[in-house]
Amino acid sequence: MERLRQTPSQTVGPFFAYSLTAQQYGYPYDSIVHHALLGPATPGEHIYITGRVLDGQGAPVPDAVVELWQANAQGQYRTAPINPRDDDGSEFTGFGRVGTGTQAGAVFRFETIKPGAIGPGQAPHINVTLFMRGSLHGLRTRLYFEDEAAANGQDELLNAVPSERRATLLARCVAGGGLPGYHLDIHLQGAEETVFFDV
Amino acid sequence: MDLVNFDVQPPHLYPPYKSTILRSPTRPLLPVRELIKDLSVPVFGESVLQQFDNDLTKNARVNGEPIGERIKVAGRVLDEAGRPQPNVLLEIWQANAAGRYVHRSEVHDAPLDPNFLGGGRVLTDREGRYSFYTIKPGAYPWGNHHNAWRPNHIHFSVLGHQLAHRLVTQMYFPGDPLFEFDPIYQSVPAHARELLVAKFRMDWTDPEFALAYEFNIVLGGRHQILFE
C-alpha cells in the first residue's frame, strides 16, 4: 500500500510566544491553555511543578515552550474536547503549555494535580513535550515523581530506561509555594542528559 | 520495507543551524512507541476558536487593513495512510509583510503593522480540511551566520490525535531564492524539502481578493511505519 510521506518537522523558532502563549507573555491575543491544568474544585492532590530546560553548557533556555499532558487523579486521560470558552475553569484539562521566557531563571511553572496510575505497570507520570529554537524536532519525555518509588520500580517504560539514566526523569520534592511541589530540570546534553523518546 | 518516512525528517544535530549544537540530544532516543502507541492527546472543541481566528487579516485590526499581499492558505491534514484527520487544531504564526514579528525579542528594524498580529488558529473539518486568510510574510535577516535571511514562511503547530502526531513545522512558498541559503530549510533531506513548500493554486484564488496556496500536512511518528 502506498504511504504518504510525512511532513518534515521544523523548529518552533524563538518568536512563538505571541501566538502559542500570548496571555502569559502579555500579547494582545488569547491562549487556549495555560500553566494551570486544573480549577479550584478539581478532585485530587493539587501540586505545582517547576523546572528548567538546560543546554549543553548548563545555561537555562529562555525561549522554550513546554507542554504537559497527563491523567487525572483517577488515572484517566481527558477524552472530552477542551472548550476553553465554555468551561468555567473548574474542569481538569490535563493539558498545559507555558513558555520559559517570563520567570526569573527561565523556570517553567505549572499547577496541576498528581496524576493517578493509568493501569498496572504504570507509575504516576506526566508526558512532557518541548519545542525551542535550535530544536528541529519536538522532544518528548516523561516526568515521574521521586516519592513514588514503589510504583516507579514497577513502571514498564521506566524499566526500559537504562538504570543509570532513570534519575533524569524523576522530579524531586520541593518545599514552599503553598502546595506540594516538584522540580525537574531537563538537560538537553551532558552527563545528566534527559532521556528523550522516539515515538 | 519502505523507510522513506523516516528519511524525510531532519536530524537533531545540524551544525549549519548553529542553535542545534548545544540544544540537540547527543544520545539515541529511547524507542517507546510500543509502550505508548495508544496514548491519545488533547482534543479541542469549536469554542477554542474566536470569530476571526482563521483570518489573520482581520483578527488584529486597529484602524484599517493590514499592509501586504492578502493570501489564502488551505489544505488537508492526513495520516500516512491518507486518512483525513478531523478536528485537528492548527496554530499559525508568522512575520508581517515587511519581515517583522510582533515579538519583544525581535531586533529586525522593519516596520511593525498596527493592524497585523500574525497569529491565528483553525480546526480541520470532518474531511481534514482547513483554510485561513493571511498576509504573505516577508523575508528577514537572522543571526545564524553572515547575511543569513529566512525564506518567507508560516509556522504551523499541529495537535493531532496521537502523541506521535504532535508536530511543529514551517510552510514555505514556491520558488523562493533563499532556499539554498537557509540551514533550517536545508536541514531536511533534499528529496523531502518539497513537502514543506506550498503549491500555488490559481484555481483556489478568490477573484479580485486573494491568491491561494495549498499546503497539505501528513502526520506520523518518526518510526511509525515500522510498527504497522
Mean pLDDT by 10 residues, chain B (228 residues): 63 97 97 81 88 96 97 97 95 98 89 97 97 98 97 97 91 98 98 97 98 96 51
The pLDDT value recorded for residue B163 is 84
Q: Which residue of B has its CA nearest to A86?
A: B47
Nearest to B218 among A4, A59, A133 (CB): A4
**B42/A197 CB distance under 8 A:** no
Q: List beta partners, residue B24.
A: none
The answer to ipTM > 0.85 is yes
- Segment holding A67, helix H or strand E: strand A64-70
The pLDDT value recorded for residue B3 is 43
Compute the mean pLDDT over every residue in chain A, rounded to the nearest whole number. 95
Query: pLDDT tier at A2 (50, 70, 90 boundaries)?
Result: confident
Which residue of B5, B9, B24, B172 to mutate against A (max A Cβ within 10 Å)? Answer: B24
The pLDDT value recorded for residue A116 is 97
The pLDDT value recorded for residue B227 is 42
**B119/A19 CB distance under 8 A:** yes
**A10/B184 CB distance under 8 A:** yes
The pLDDT value recorded for residue B2 is 43
Percent of chain A residues topping a pLDDT of 90: 88
Instruction: Choose, from B76, B100, B153, B165, the residue flagged as catalytic.
Output: B153
pTM of the model: 0.95
Here the cell at position B132 is 485561513
| Alpha helices, DSSP H, located in chain A | 17-20, 22-25, 149-154, 156-160
A31 vs A85, which has greater pLDDT?
A: A31
Burial class (CB in 10 A: 0-12, 13-18, 19+), A108: buried
Percent of chain A residues topping a pLDDT of 70: 98
The pLDDT value recorded for residue A1 is 61
Select from A141, A115, A149, A150 the least CA-distant residue to A51.
A141
The pLDDT value recorded for residue B220 is 86
Instruction: Choose, from B17, B101, B130, B213, the residue flagged as catalytic.
Output: B101
Distance CA A22, CA B110 (A): 22
Residue B168 vs residues A102, A138, B29, B119, B213: alpha-carbon distances, Å: 22, 7, 18, 15, 19
Instruction: Please report where in the chains the cell 511543578 appears, as a residue.
Output: A49
Here the cell at position B82 is 491518507
The pLDDT value recorded for residue B228 is 40
Residues 6 or more apart in contact with residue B146 via CB below 8 angstroms: none
- Tell me, yes or no, if A118 comes closer than 8 A to chain B by beta carbon: no
The pLDDT value recorded for residue B221 is 67
Model confidence at A197: pLDDT above 90: yes
Q: Which residue of A has its CA nearest to B189?
A: A8
